[in-house]
Chains A and B, each alone.
Chain A
Amino acid sequence: MARRWKNTLSENDVTPEKVFLNRRQLMAGGAAALGLGSIGGALEAAEGLEPSSYEDITQYNNYYEFGTGKGDPVKNAHMLTTTPWSVKIDGLVDKPGDYAFEDIMKAMTIEERIYRFRCVEAWSMVIPWNGFELADLLAMAGVQSDAKYVAFETALRPDEMPGVRYPVLDWPYVEGLRLDEAMHPLTMMATGIYGKDIPNQNGAPLRLVVPWKYGFKSIKSVVRITLTDKEPPTSWNQANAREYGFYSNVNPEVDHPRWSQASERVVGGGLFSKRVPTLMLNGYADEVGDLYAGMDLSKFF
């Protein structure tokens, strides 16, 4: 197994600081890694009765299959059936096949990861995910030596997804990573938030999380993972190649053609919250910077 990743964000970085966590959820989440000493502080902060971060995370979403409004996914995503669920893993793997969600969960070790999440639209959150490293899932299927890329696909269910009636994108939603990005210990498949099962609007029952890339790379409700030797097509790149590159690494120095990426708005701060500067690779430059050594990031954006 790859080198493990160590959390550098503390609970105080969770969006926003007034966390509402209760002790039972935390225990149920098996989030021992959190450090129990900080729970008291989080509870005290909760006395402020500000909007809870769980609500920010689960009610402000981009999931265009359920509508393009930020509040559409929470309204519509309940229609999505997530049981039974299986993920087809195919392409350049030793054991291709349909992997049932329960079987995946049995084989994986669930841990909590508190990651920054930066949307290409220049807003951000900090999210306590539960899940496992993608590398562990790929190891389950056995990656062959000639594989260079990983392609992902979201479920496409016209009966359950009112948004796919409109050609906002060329459905189904597809994404991709270079194999070394996919195998990086920061890259995970999330199955929970705050120790609860991940809500549908956040990509149930399992989604990719790549914290140093813009949010749209972290594809939701994954039904297929394909190992390949060619760079796979990705939805936003196909929709507008000038604006969305294959890499889409968070980079304050490379602007979106239509807006600046230098700063971001932290969701949940209310009417008078200030913009904050965006960090190179979303603050994970030390961990993943060497993946892009020697690459011109304004060219490979």
Chain B
Amino acid sequence: MSVVDRINGVARKVPTWPLYILGLLPVPWLLYLAQTGALGREPIKELEHELGLIALRLLIAGLTITSLRRYLGLNLIKFRRMIGVLAFTYVALHLLVWVVLDMSLLWGQMWADIWKRPYITVGMAGFLMLLPLAATSNNLSLRKMGAVAWRKLHKLTYIAVLAGGVHFLWLVKGFQMEPILYMGAILFLLALRLPARKVAQRA
């Protein structure tokens, strides 16, 4: 039995619900670190940054699922919804930290920032795009909408991930490697889908 088959076998047996809990463990952990000072001298910024990074990583992980199956035969599709819902949760927490802790509920300044600061505009747009996706990430919505419409809607993920990558790229000062690497990964994973779409259209 090949490695891929073995992983697929294990994946079939693993239930998804404990993974939601596992996936949320970083939240209490980060709060604990913030309380003990382990997040550094300015824990709010660090918390905000870490939650954003986890969200971006999960969004990217979600993108890899389809490609892993297509190119390696690795079937992890059953985890995709969980990854997506977790990604949305982390984006929402990231936003919550910004609104409550970082901006101290200064609605006027936040409103101005959302319109005037491109990186915040893009980040907020990404969050709004994830809202309908999170709301329809359940079997009932899938049945009600029908698979075709549901899949069409969930293509919004591509744009939302791009928004996340641009949001990160746009907020750093000077020339920094980390956001460029994330953006590179996103563009690579999206590029992997291009030929597949063309094939689908021809068929």
A274 to B100: give the CA distance in the assembly, Å.
Answer: 9
Minimum CB distance partner of B35 in chain A: A271
* Inter-subunit contact A169/B171 (CB<8 Å): no
Q: CB-CB < 8 A to A70: which residues of B?
A: 40-42, 45
Q: CB-CB < 8 A to B106: which residues of A?
A: 263, 275
Contact of A51 among B37, B44, B109 (CB under 8 A): B37
Q: Digit string of B83-102 for contact with A (CB within 8 Å is 1, else 0)?
A: 00000000000000000011
User: Nearest chain A CB to B120's CB is how many angstroms away?
Assistant: 8
User: Nearest chain B CB to A257's CB is how many angstroms away?
Assistant: 8
* Inter-subunit contact A275/B175 (CB<8 Å): no
* Inter-subunit contact B174/A259 (CB<8 Å): no
Contact of B41 among A168, A240, A260, A267 (CB under 8 A): A267
Minimum CB distance partner of A71 in chain B: B40
Contact of A271 among B40, B44, B113, B177 (CB under 8 A): B44
A241 to B37: give the CA distance in the assembly, Å.
Answer: 36
Q: Digit string of B49-82 for contact with A (CB within 8 Å is 1, else 0)?
A: 0000000000000000000000000000000000
Q: CB-CB < 8 A to A168: which residues of B?
A: 174-176
A255 to B171: give the CA distance in the assembly, Å.
Answer: 15
Contact of A263 among B47, B109, B119 (CB under 8 A): B109
* Inter-subunit contact B41/A60 (CB<8 Å): yes
A237 to B15: give the CA distance in the assembly, Å.
Answer: 54
* Inter-subunit contact A169/B119 (CB<8 Å): no
- Is B13 positioned at the interface, with any CB of A under 8 Å from its CB? no
Q: CB-CB < 8 A to A259: which residues of B?
A: 113, 117, 120
Q: Using a Cβ–Cβ cut-off of 8 Å, how many residues does chain B contribute to the interface with A?
A: 31
Q: Using a Cβ–Cβ cut-off of 8 Å, how many residues does chain A contribute to the interface with B?
A: 33
Q: CB-CB < 8 A to B35: which residues of A?
A: 271
A255-B116 in contact given A68-B174, A166-B177 (Cβ < 8 Å): yes
- Is A265 positioned at the interface, with any CB of B under 8 Å from its CB? yes
A263-297, CB < 8 A from B: 263, 265, 267-268, 270-275
A51 to B10: give the CA distance in the assembly, Å.
Answer: 47
Label chain A's interface by main secondary structure. Answer: loop
* Inter-subunit contact A59/B43 (CB<8 Å): no
Minimum CB distance partner of A70 in chain B: B40
Q: Digit string of A162-190 for contact with B (CB within 8 Å is 1, else 0)?
A: 00001111000000000000000000000
* Inter-subunit contact A55/B41 (CB<8 Å): yes
Kindly name the residue among A60, A68, A268 whose own CB sees the greatest number of chain B CB atoms within 10 A: A68
- Is A27 positioned at the interface, with any CB of B under 8 Å from its CB? no
Q: Digit string of B160-178 for contact with A (CB within 8 Å is 1, else 0)?
A: 0000000000111111110
Minimum CB distance partner of A53 in chain B: B41
Q: CB-CB < 8 A to B103: which residues of A?
A: 275
Q: List 13 A-B contacts (CB under 8 A).
A: A68-B173, A166-B176, A166-B177, A167-B175, A168-B176, A258-B118, A258-B171, A260-B116, A260-B117, A267-B42, A268-B42, A271-B43, A271-B101
B residues with CB within 8 A of A: 34-35, 37, 40-45, 47, 101-104, 106, 109, 112-113, 116-120, 170-177
A residues with CB within 8 A of B: 51, 55-56, 59-60, 64, 68, 70-71, 121, 123, 166-169, 236, 239-240, 255, 258-260, 262-263, 265, 267-268, 270-275
20 other A-B residue contacts (CB within 8 Å) besides A68-B172, A260-B112, A267-B42? A60-B41, A60-B42, A64-B174, A68-B173, A68-B174, A121-B173, A123-B45, A168-B175, A169-B174, A239-B174, A239-B175, A240-B174, A258-B119, A258-B171, A260-B113, A265-B44, A265-B45, A268-B42, A271-B101, A273-B44
